[in-house]
Amino acid sequence: MMEIENEILEIGKSILTQQHKFAPNSELDDLSHISEMKLVIEGISEYLSLKGYSENDIKKIKKFLIQFAEKNFLEQCAKAATDVGAVPDKEVDKEYFTYIYNTGQYPE
């Protein structure tokens, strides 16, 4: 990727990291937390589209940022589980994140 795309990735990672740090100490539930991360990613994607970036470049950046957000969320889930003496289940947590990210709703 070009240098400007790397800067965009770093900005996106920084915003997602700050939001991720804020969420556990706030009143945000998982639905709000994941939805806010999605808003950041969608906002960056929309900006890139308005600036004339190719769909392919936007997809790559969006995919990277979603994976980054998911990784942070899964780490948070694992920590929360171990803090209460439970065994983390990465696959279940990943499905949970993906469902909320894609639908904007909790799984039934």
- List pLDDT tens digits, range 63-86: 999 999 999 999 999 998 898 888
- Residue 98's identity, in one-letter code, is T
State pLDDT tens for residues 5-40: 888 999 999 999 998 888 777 777 999 999 999 999
Alpha helices in the chain, H assignment, sequence order: 3-22, 30-50, 55-83, 90-103
Cα–Cα distances (Å) from 61 to 4, 9, 34, 55, 86, in that order, read: 11, 7, 18, 10, 34
Domain ranges of the chain: 3-103
Separation CA 98–CA 92 (nearest Å): 10
